[in-house]
A = this chain, B = another copy of it.
Amino acid sequence: MTDQKHIDALVALAGPKGASTDAGEIAPHLREWRDKFNGQTPLMLAPTDTATAAKLVRYCNDHKIAIVPQGGNTGLVGGGIPGLEGRDEVLFSTKRMRGSITVDPDDMTITADAGFTVAEMQAAAADHDLLFPLSLASEGSCTAGGVVSTNAGGVHVVRYGTTRALTLGLEAVLADGSILHDLSALRKDNTGYDLTQLMVGAEGTLGVITKVTFKLAPAEKQLHSCWLAVGSPQDALRLLRSAREATGDRVSAFELMPRFGLELVLAHIPGTTDPLEEAHPWYVLTDIASSSMDPALESQVNDWLEREMTAGTIKDGVVASTLAQREALWRLRETMSEAQKHEGGSIKHDISVPVSKVPAFLEEAGAAVQATCPGARLTPFGHLGDGNIHFNVMQPKEADKQTFLDGWEAMNAMVHDIVTCYGGSISAEHGIGTLKRAELARLKDPAQLAAMRAVKAALDPNNILNPGALFG
């Protein structure tokens, strides 16, 4: 355990409320909501300003004390929880960094301290008739610093890009306690390596992000949400293409769901109903949006739906005509993870393949799962527009949960091998953390791994920044 004299020194440096050694206060920061990760630490640092954060990091570096940065603690890969696998680590929470949040409507940017949540940034942007495009299930808790560290995705990536694409600049404390000033609102800057982009998705292993400037988009003035039944992922893909063509690329979400996933939602989530009368094998939920009131868009959407129904690509469908209807449709999608918890064990894969390869991947991976685990119930769903599918495998109905879950790593390895054959990614949006470290080492291009290690060693020579993540 970290030496008491260091704990005392850090508490003193952190100032009033800037640190805690109270186990009860620290406890919620050590658990992941699905209970997959449970950490431990004697000390939580939680400074409110960059200068103090820098002092704390410098002290830790000088004394080779490992720290694990954490935002809203909504991560799914054990990347923000200290003390996993018996490591001696201090928690470094950025949740209290909430000094300032500013929208610049002329530059269409928002600059926020690391501790503001995505929902708060959405609201601040909306006050100026602008859109903070990031939208994900945890938006009420996840923070500016956290989404940048993990390059969060969500349902709007198909139109607005990932967090990486939205991040214009940032400020971060580096391992030696120096402050990286790159909090730029510039749209173009070619003055050397893009260190902001290097920090995005680095999972706190290269620095502690303290402030971020994000791009904003014009608010969506008009929104058509459609729930569409299709016969296959291939047909869903055809729809994605024709929707883009028909609407001038104004598709802002395009989600794929299987019938079985919908059935789980209908069975376990109160107040949900099937929007359609008959059952269909696959569903698409798409948002088509415009930032101007464009009377032509509605007819473009309607013409597209009619053409695709006539062609047989769409079997049946509804278009939300009220906000309440829209919310009901999106609830079916957003509760699809939660609904699975009620039916036993579920082995998760957050994968991506090139968009065009999703149908072939689903077929091949589905067959492989059935061959090794007959009766396993597949619930692949997610962001078809990005090629990002949450390829979840639920236990056979009567199987023993623990026995099934004991096969997690073997199942992962099999699915990841198939993903790799398709030129895909074993972590499309959740990151590596501690969970997928071994798979990363197994499957990543050796030259990339070597370059990553070289960069890490160069910027964090004492390996104090989240040493358990990525490399381990």
**Contacting A452 at CB < 8 Å: which of B193, B201, B241, B470?**
B193
CA–CA, A130 and B40, complex, Å: 53
From B237, B423, B436, A106 is in contact (CB under 8 Å) with B237
A27 within 8 A of B: no
Contacts of A104 in B (CB 8 A): 354, 356
Partner of A193 from the list B202, B292, B297, B423 (CB cut-off 8 Å) is B202
Write the A109-120 contact mask toward B (1 if CB under 8 angstroms, else 0).
100000000000
11 A-B pairs with CB atoms under 8 Å apart are A104-B356, A161-B165, A165-B165, A182-B448, A186-B424, A187-B385, A190-B429, A190-B431, A193-B452, A218-B248, A248-B250
Binding site for B on A (CB under 8 A): 104, 106-109, 150-151, 153, 157-158, 161-162, 164-165, 174, 178-182, 184-195, 197-198, 200-202, 206, 217-218, 237, 241, 244-250, 290-292, 294-297, 300, 352-356, 383, 385-388, 423-432, 436, 440, 444-452, 454-455, 457-459, 470
Name which residue of chain B comes closest to A240, CB basis.
Answer: B106
Given contacts A187-B388, A294-B300, A454-B459, 16 further A-B contacts (CB under 8 A): A104-B354, A107-B356, A184-B423, A186-B353, A188-B352, A188-B383, A190-B430, A191-B432, A191-B440, A192-B449, A192-B470, A193-B451, A245-B291, A245-B292, A249-B292, A455-B458
CB distance from A16 to the nearest CB of B (A): 28
**Given A194-B164, A450-B178, are A352 and B201 also a contact pair (CB < 8 Å)?**
no
Query: Are B431's CB and A179's CB within 8 A?
Result: no
In the A-B complex, the 8 residue pairs with the smallest Cβ-Cβ separation, listed nearest first, are: A106-B356, A296-B296, A458-B458, A248-B292, A189-B425, A454-B458, A187-B386, A197-B197
CA distance A295 to B300 in the complex (A): 10
Q: So how many copies of this chain end up in the complex? A: 2
Residues of B within 8 A of A290 (CB): 248
Please indicate the chain B residues that have their CB under 8 angstroms from the CB of A191 in the complex: 425-427, 432, 436, 440, 444
Give the most central of A383, A423, A436: most B CB within 10 Å. Answer: A423
Contacts of A300 in B (CB 8 A): 292, 294
Instruction: Evaluate contact between B458 and A425: CB separation under 8 angstroms.
Output: no
In angstroms, Cα B353 to Cα A241, docked, is 37
Contact B451 A387 (CB under 8 A): no
A428 touches B181 (CB 8 A): no
With A and B bound together, what is the CA distance between A202 and B127 in angstroms?
38
Tell whether, in the assembled complex, residue B352 and residue A186 are in contact, meaning their CB atoms are under 8 Å apart: yes
Instruction: Give the chain B neighbours of A206 by CB distance below 8 A.
Output: 193
Question: Is the Cβ of A162 less than 8 Å from the Cβ of B188?
Answer: yes
A190 proximity list for chain B (CB < 8 A): 150-151, 153, 201, 425, 427-432
A82 to chain B, nearest CB (A): 20
Q: In the complex the two chains form, what is the Cα distance from A454 to B452 in whole Å?
A: 13
The residue in chain B whose Cβ has the minimal distance to the Cβ of A296 is B296
Which B residue sits closest to A386, measured CB to CB?
B187
- Considering only CB atoms, which chain B residue lies closest to A150 in the complex? B190
Contact A193 to B201, CB < 8 A, known contacts A218-B249, A249-B218: yes
- Cβ 8 A contact of A451, one of B158, B356, B459: B459
Q: How far is the CB of A273 from chain B (nearest CB, A)?
A: 31
Given A217-B249, A245-B292, A188:B107 Cβ within 8 A? no
List of B residues within 8 angstroms of A354 by Cβ? 104, 107, 109, 185-186
Interchain CB contact under 8 A, A457 and B458: yes
Question: Chain B residues near A192 (CB, 8 Å)?
Answer: 201, 432, 440, 444, 448-449, 452, 470
Complex CA gap A237/B150 in Å reads 35
- Are A201 and B195 neighbours in the complex by a CB distance under 8 Å? no
B195→A452 contact, CB < 8 A: yes
Closest chain-B Cβ to A46's Cβ sits at a distance in Å of 23
B residues near A355, Cβ cutoff 8 Å: 106-108, 187
Q: Which B residues are CB-close (under 8 A) to A427?
A: 189-191
Contacting pair B188 A429 (CB below 8 A): yes
From residue A431, how far is it (CB to closest CB) to chain B in Å? 5
List residues of chain B with CB within 8 A of the CB of A450.
178
